[in-house]
Amino acid sequence: MSSPSFFQRLLKMREGGEALTLASALTSILIFASILIFTIHEGSWMLLRPQYLLGARWQPEYNRYGLLLLLYGSIIVTAGALAISTPIGVASAIFISEVAPRWIREVMEAAVETLAAIPSIIYGFIAYFFLAPWIAAVFHLPLGRTALTASLILSIMTLPTIISISSEAISSVPMAYREASLALGADRWQTLWRVVLPAARLGIFASILLAFGRAIGETIAVLMASGCVAAIPNPPWNLLSPVYPMTAAIAIGMGEAEFRGLHYYALYTLALILLCISALVNNTARLLIRKAPRGEVRI
């Protein structure tokens, strides 16, 4: 066990520097633990009083907090986004790590990092002023702010995650796999299709999970693109109707909710669900990345 050694070190700490840096390192634990504790504490109040939560309506003014509607909104928007961004992202990752010459690769990496750095309000702005009118015109809708609009803008926002993590996974497939396949007479694309991609599948799957985590936690862009109407579309898979994702409800509702009133607790319940989903997804993705084969092959 290493725990005694830590306390021994603490006692023997002669330099102030070590104590200072240790205290800073502990801050991260403190912050994460407080986020966890606050969200669980405030979020479980209404979970323990489920009579508010199970209705079929989300109407804070009548104390109806049917949060399944909002969960549905988040999930349909996220699923739509991933359905678009997964093929594009994985193809781009293949292109970056296996096909493109060096200079194209560098241009694409810079483009991907810039996409990742653009703030979500800018994506929301694009969705609101350019994407939504276009969707409205194409599908003859009165208002263009729909689940599809939110999915489209989210798909661009999740591309950087899928591309960077997948291309890392593909590049770290051992060279020996490729050489063995090529030596057996397979061409470059057969090797890629039948050897490299299967070997990188854990990392690619992890990238999709991380993109899911990013998409379901995205707030401002989704708020501006999705229309924010708390209703299940008819039929439920109809992407052309407005939805109300959880994050948007938190951002809009918290400003007017009374501190520690019913609405506040309902929004914290949404936050707790969101925190559970994103922690689950992120930690699973990290485990997958650790399990993936990389570097030299041991024979």
Instruction: For residue 275, state whether it binds other proteins (rule: CB under 8 A).
Output: yes
Binding mask 77-96 for other proteins (x = CB under 8 A): ----------xx--xx-xxx
Instruction: For residue 243, state whether it binds other proteins (rule: CB under 8 A).
Output: no
Nearer to other proteins by Cβ, of 56 and 188: the residue is 188
Among 46, 218, 227, 244, binds other proteins (CB under 8 A): 218
Instruction: For residue 134, state whether it binds other proteins (rule: CB under 8 A).
Output: no
Tokens 């109809």, residue located: 238
Max distance between CA atoms of the chain, in angstroms, equals 73
- Least Cα distance to 207 among 37, 54, 90 occurs for 90
| Interacting positions 139-198 with other proteins (CB under 8 A) | 156, 159-160, 163, 189-190, 192-193
Q: Other CB atoms closer than 10 Å to residue 235's CB: what's the count? A: 7
Instruction: For residue 101, state whether it binds other proteins (rule: CB under 8 A).
Output: no
Nearer to other proteins by Cβ, of 77 and 126: the residue is 126
Instruction: For residue 128, state whether it binds other proteins (rule: CB under 8 A).
Output: yes
List the structure tokens of 6. 């830590």
Nearer to other proteins by Cβ, of 26 and 137: the residue is 26
Count the site residues for other proteins by CB under 8 A.
90
Among 11, 50, 101, 117, binds other proteins (CB under 8 A): 117
CA distance 262 to 63: 7
List the structure tokens of 204. 């690619």
Nearer to other proteins by Cβ, of 115 and 231: the residue is 115
Among 31, 54, 56, 184, binds other proteins (CB under 8 A): 31
Instruction: For residue 241, state whether it binds other proteins (rule: CB under 8 A).
Output: no
Nearer to other proteins by Cβ, of 213 and 242: the residue is 213
| Interacting positions 46-75 with other proteins (CB under 8 A) | none
**At closest approach, how far in Å is the CB of 49 from other proteins?**
19
Instruction: For residue 283, state whether it binds other proteins (rule: CB under 8 A).
Output: yes
